[in-house]
Amino acid sequence: MLVCPEQGTATAVSKTINAIRGMNDILPADTPLWQEVEDVMRAVLQAYGYAEIRLPIVEHTELFERVIGEATEVVEKEMYTFADRNGDSLTLRPEGTAGCVRAAIQHHMLRGQAQKLWYAGPMFRHERPQRGRYRQFHQVGAEALGLEGPDVDLELILLCARLWRELGLEALRLELNTLGVPEERARHRSDLVAYFQDHREALDDDGRRRLESNPLRILDSKNPQLQSLIDGAPQLIDYVGGESREHFERLCAELDAAGQPYEINPRLVRGLDYYSRTVFEWTTDRLGAQATVCGGGRYDGLVQQLGGPATPAIGFSLGVERLLELLRETRGEGPTALSPHAYVVVAGAGLEGAAQRVAEGLRDDLPGLRVQTHLGGGSLKSQFRRADRSGARVALVLGEDEHAAGEVTVKPLREDGMEQVRIAQDRLTEHCAGLVQLTPQQ
């Protein structure tokens, strides 16, 4: 029991409340990496002429049913759908393309002009949480509306490749396929259904269920016992005719010319119904089962299907959590891009104010320098421990001696050949100027 001081009454200690499973807090130790990735994304997307669009998190359920497809796993099983107080059926967005296309139509953005848009934010899918799979996760997505391609297909893929390069990621592999146009897919689908119906007894329960709802998804099955059956199934690529094939071949030729490696994966179908022609995924071996970091493709029929003008389109979204996990795998632990450059150690009683003045002076003189001043007292040892853990490159030590002499001791905290020096406070700016340019990894 706790006694509540204001009221002098006893209250029961309450049970703590945790976050919903699969919906994660992003803690201060992790936010620097998030911010770094967000900054790189924004810079690269802007460098390719994409403009940011900010979209609601909740939309009418019907939007997702129509865009993603009623028979997809996402719509069938994974949407967070609820009735609001008016009785309207609303859904927390499971992805960003639907809202982006809805907004472009609603605001008449597609009349005679192309749009290159990007968005970022949380998405929601009621999946079984595991490593790399969450119920609230974050995507950064780009959508190019009104461009037939394959030049824009090429540009989007090169944009992704640049993102990985800027982040120092090498472990991503590009897989490509073409899904043809709806008539080609319909012919393939009916042959596929006939094939699997002939082999119905060889399918597992999931396969039989998908045979009724979405037979293409059988091709995605991870069940090793189905693999030879799947290998023998009619392949969509054999149904893809002249124009789609040419579109795809031109894209492949341009990727070759750009030196961008890729693999054609005839089984790549993607989990959402709106795709046509080019589809692609960036995958890695380093994240276990949830290997797809980024996926996208063309959806040439979607805008019209939602009541807009006929508008070819292509886009992609990347999963930020998966990307960050891959970054952590690649880089290991260590100081982050937002660690302070300098940590001010207060090495004497009553010097707190003087230490803050030193820090303020540096912040005035050197915008961009991150200076953290030790707060809350404590032994020198504990202050140095904090300084070290902060990832700072130098400690600025202000003791009684230094204070009396108008000086500061600059103590390097990383093994990078810097010498410890004691210098006049009015030379500190000059001494620290070089730190602003340095990233923590250097």
Q: Using CB under 6 A as the criterion, which residues of the chain lie in contact with ligand HAM when the complex forms? A: 95-97, 125, 127, 132-134, 137, 139, 141, 143, 271-272, 292-297, 315-319, 321-322
State how far the Cα of 436 lies from the Cα of 186, in Å rounded to an integer. 59
3 state SS of 119? strand
Q: Give the pairing type, strands 9-11 and 51-52.
A: unpaired
Looking at the Cβ atoms of 296 and 340, the one nearer to ligand HAM is: 296
Looking at the Cβ atoms of 144 and 233, the one nearer to ligand HAM is: 144
Looking at the Cβ atoms of 101 and 408, the one nearer to ligand HAM is: 101
Looking at the Cβ atoms of 120 and 371, the one nearer to ligand HAM is: 120
Q: Which helix (H) or strand (E) holds 144?
A: strand 136-145
Looking at the Cβ atoms of 97 and 178, the one nearer to ligand HAM is: 97
Least gap, CB of 296 to ligand HAM (angstroms): 4
State how far the Cα of 431 lies from the Cα of 271, in Å rounded to an integer. 56
Q: Do 169 and 33 form a contact (C-beta atoms < 8 A)? A: no
* Number of residues that make up the chain: 442
Q: Do 341 and 396 form a contact (C-beta atoms < 8 A)? A: no
Least gap, CB of 251 to ligand HAM (angstroms): 15
Nearest residue by C-beta to ligand HAM?
319
Instruction: Give the amino acid at 278.
Output: T
Q: Do 176 and 280 form a contact (C-beta atoms < 8 A)? A: yes
Least gap, CB of 327 to ligand HAM (angstroms): 13
Least gap, CB of 92 to ligand HAM (angstroms): 12
Looking at the Cβ atoms of 132 and 146, the one nearer to ligand HAM is: 132
3 state SS of 130? strand
State how far the Cα of 191 lies from the Cα of 188, in Å rounded to an integer. 5
Least gap, CB of 155 to ligand HAM (angstroms): 14
75's CB contacts (< 8 A; 6+ apart) are 64, 65, 68, 69
State how far the Cα of 360 lies from the Cα of 398, in Å rounded to an integer. 14
Least gap, CB of 39 to ligand HAM (angstroms): 19
Least gap, CB of 154 to ligand HAM (angstroms): 16
Instruction: Give the amino acid at 50.
Output: Y
Least gap, CB of 318 to ligand HAM (angstroms): 6
Tokens of 422: 């004691």
Q: Which residues pair with 60 in a beta bridge?
A: 90
Least gap, CB of 423 to ligand HAM (angstroms): 49
Instruction: Give the amino acid at 125.
Output: R
Looking at the Cβ atoms of 284 and 339, the one nearer to ligand HAM is: 284
Tokens of 138: 């974050």
What burial letters (b/e) apply to 423-439, b meaning 16+ CB within 10 Å? bebeebeebbeebeeee
Looking at the Cβ atoms of 63 and 369, the one nearer to ligand HAM is: 63
Looking at the Cβ atoms of 141 and 149, the one nearer to ligand HAM is: 141
